[in-house]
Amino acid sequence: MAIAPSPSTFIDKPIKFGTDGWRGMMAADFTFARVQQVATVAAQVLQQTYGATTGSNTVIVGYDRRFLSPEFARTAAEAIAAAGFDVQLSKGFAPTPAFSWAAKSQGALGAVVITASHNPAAYNGLKIKSAFGGSVPPEVTQQVEAQLETVFAPATQPGSIASFDPWPSYCAELQSKVDLGSIQTAIASGQLTVFADVMHGAAATGLERLLGTAIHEFNTEADPLFEGGAPEPLPQYLKRMLTAVAAYQPAVPGGLVTGLVFDGDSDRIAAVDSQGTFLSSQVLIPILIDHLTQVHGLSGEVIKTISGSNLIPKIAALHNLPLHETAIGYKYIADRMMTSHALIGGEESGGVGYGHHIPERDALLSALYVLESVVKSGLDLSDRYRKLQATTGYYSEYDRIDLPLPTMAVRDRLVAALENDCPTAIAGKAVTHCLTIDGYKFSLEDESWLLIRFSGTEPVLRLYSEAATIEEVHKHLAWAKAWAEGVGE
């Protein structure tokens, strides 16, 4: 029988913002009182940061489909209004990027979004979005954390709360970026069949709104328990979807079948090919780069995290595009997008954004581009990917594992070992380069790599690898696990 954590575990747990927002267990450290506190300070910091440039006094407040998210959002809206700000409160759930778009398109100070993204059901969270339509930079969330105990003077005049529907403006913006007619024609003729697993999350009904036609959508209804799993686009949560796509027979000979997967707040994406094979963003990002350059004639910098596939820089080079590599976390990509002419920014966990949109990962826009790519190329996604591999001569497989550690003290020993005695060979392969902007990424002699990272808040070791075969990938991961166990003893 599972034993719930003691309430005392959370009483003094500080409010900390991670790679994208503050998250916590509901009724433990994520409470109505704390949401009220954070929302009030977030509005003040947004005003301090963006007030002069926007001239606005409005904050967008939105939410996802989690248990109590509407109620948490109402609490946040009331706290922000009590502090003297006007609030545009969403009428219903919507994707997080829809609220980021609303902040930009409405000229607001920013947005506060109640969501725990892909976390399990017991969690909820709060994301702060900027006036420019992306996640606020780390220095802004640091200011929020620093001012949580500040007592602000009462507002002389409370702000107003008005409701709005975020979907129409958001959908119109996304529809304007693709050849929507070609996708609709392919679906109507039977040449393209679209499946989607929205994982009981905020992408529900999204593709049908955008496409104006019915598709095969799984897990449309709200489920506060997420079927006992988590709304994360990973194969272990997608058995129904993978089976259905694999078994489907198109009505039209040669018809194409594409599956799309969205996380809980629709900022991460994965896909499924016609054979029911799961495709992560490691596969999708190279396809998207090629599609945007070849079909849309777009250019700009390709931004990837250090855990992104080595095929990404090869596709960038194929199209003479500059490349920039960041630490893991979309906020680093968004920061770079603000200072460069970016084409695309992507991370291995499914977040993909575009320089010609907003500096924010947007799964529904990525989905439209994926469908457009399938229609324009006439190729199944895996066939399209294999074609890119053949063009560049680079073939690889990828996997990652999270390794729980007994204590934070073990984590500290492993960090010290890497700092003082960094490996020069891994699984019998010489290390040719070590990148340390986020953990330790070891480039190996055969163009494969291993990345060792640590969670900053819990005793967890994150291991990533890419190599020519999945067997080699697993050798790297096994080596890293054995190394960690040996040092940590």
Task: For residue 183, give its domain range.
Answer: 177-392
Instruction: State pLDDT tens for residues 443-466.
Output: 999 999 999 998 766 788 999 999
Last residue of a domain, one of 139, 166, 193: 166
Q: Last residue of a domain, which of 392, 413, 436?
A: 392
pLDDT of residue 456: 66
What's the pLDDT score for residue 457? 62
Q: Per-residue confidence at 151, pLDDT binned at 50, 70, 90?
A: confident
Q: Tell whether 1 is covered by a domain.
A: no
Determine, yes or no, domain membership for 44. Answer: yes
- Domain check: are 295 and 408 in the same one? no
pLDDT score at 6:
45
Flag whether 2 is in a domain: no
pLDDT category of residue 488 using cuts at 50, 70 and 90: low
Structure tokens of 400?
Answer: 């990652």
Residue 325 reports pLDDT greater than 60? yes
Per cent of the chain over pLDDT 90 is 88
Unique residue bearing structure tokens 């109620």: 71
In the numeric block, which tokens belong to residue 155?
């507002």
Number of domains in the chain: 3
User: Is pLDDT of 169 > 90?
Assistant: yes
Roughly what angle, to the nearest 10 degrees, separates helices 363-377 and 180-189? 70
pLDDT over 90 at 10, yes or no: no
Q: Is residue 159 part of a domain?
A: yes
Selection from 192, 425, 435 nearest residue 307 by Cα: 435
Q: Point out the domain boundary residue: 166, 190, 213.
A: 166
What does the pLDDT look like over 347-369, one tens digit per residue?
999 999 999 999 999 999 999 99
Q: Are residues 346 and 261 in the same domain?
A: yes
**Are 376 and 455 in a shared domain?**
no
Q: Examine residue 129 and state whether it is found in any structural domain, yes or no.
A: yes
- The span from the CA of 186 to the CA of 276, in Å, is 20
Per DSSP, the three-state class of 213 is coil
Q: Are residues 310 and 187 in the same domain?
A: yes
Residue 223 has pLDDT above 60, yes or no: yes
Nearby residues of 107 by Cβ (< 8 Å), 6 or more positions away: 54, 55, 56, 58, 131
Query: Residue 337 pLDDT more than 60?
Result: yes
Supply the pLDDT for residue 12. 67
Residues in CB range of 37: below 8 A, 6 or more apart: 15, 79, 148
Segment 462-473 shows an average pLDDT of: 96
Check which CATH number belongs to the domain holding 331 and give it.
Answer: 3.40.120.10
**pTM for this structure?**
0.94
Whether 419 is in a domain gets the answer yes
- Are 224 and 366 within one domain? yes
Q: What is the pLDDT of residues 248-307, one digit of tens each?
A: 999 899 999 999 999 999 999 999 999 999 999 999 999 999 999 999 999 999 999 999
| Mean pLDDT of the 108-115 span | 98
Tens of pLDDT, residue by residue over 37-80, are 999 999 999 999 999 999 999 999 999 999 999 999 999 999 99
Per-residue confidence (pLDDT) for residue 208, from 0 to 100: 98
Establish if 351 belongs to a structural domain.
yes
Q: For position 459, what pLDDT does the model report?
A: 84
Helix, strand, or coil (residue 64): coil
Q: Are residues 467 and 338 in the same domain?
A: no
Here the CATH number for the domain that contains residue 447 is: 3.30.310.50
User: Minimal CA–CA distance to 451: which of 347, 321, 324, 337?
Assistant: 347
pLDDT at 143: 96
Mean pLDDT estimate for the chain: 94
Do residue 75 and residue 152 come from a single domain? yes
412 and 288, same domain (yes or no): no
pLDDT for res 450: 97
- Per-residue model confidence (pLDDT) at position 196: 98
Q: How confident is the model at residue 7 (pLDDT cuts 50, 70, 90)?
A: very low
Across residues 403-431, what is the average pLDDT? 93
> Residue range 142-156: average pLDDT?
89
Q: How many CB atoms lie within 10 A of CB 313?
A: 18
What is the mean predicted confidence (pLDDT) over 5-27? 75
Give the CA angle between residues 183, 184, 185 to the nearest 5°.
Answer: 90
Does 171 fall in a domain? Answer: no
Mean pLDDT of 177-194: 98
Average pLDDT estimate for 195-210: 98
Identify whether residues 417 and 463 lie together within a single domain.
Answer: yes
* pLDDT interval class at 418 (50, 70, 90): very high
In sequence order, which residues have a C-beta less than 8 Å from that of residue 150 and are 6 or more positions away? Answer: 41, 44
- Same domain for 185 and 158? no
**Averaged pLDDT, 461-487:** 95
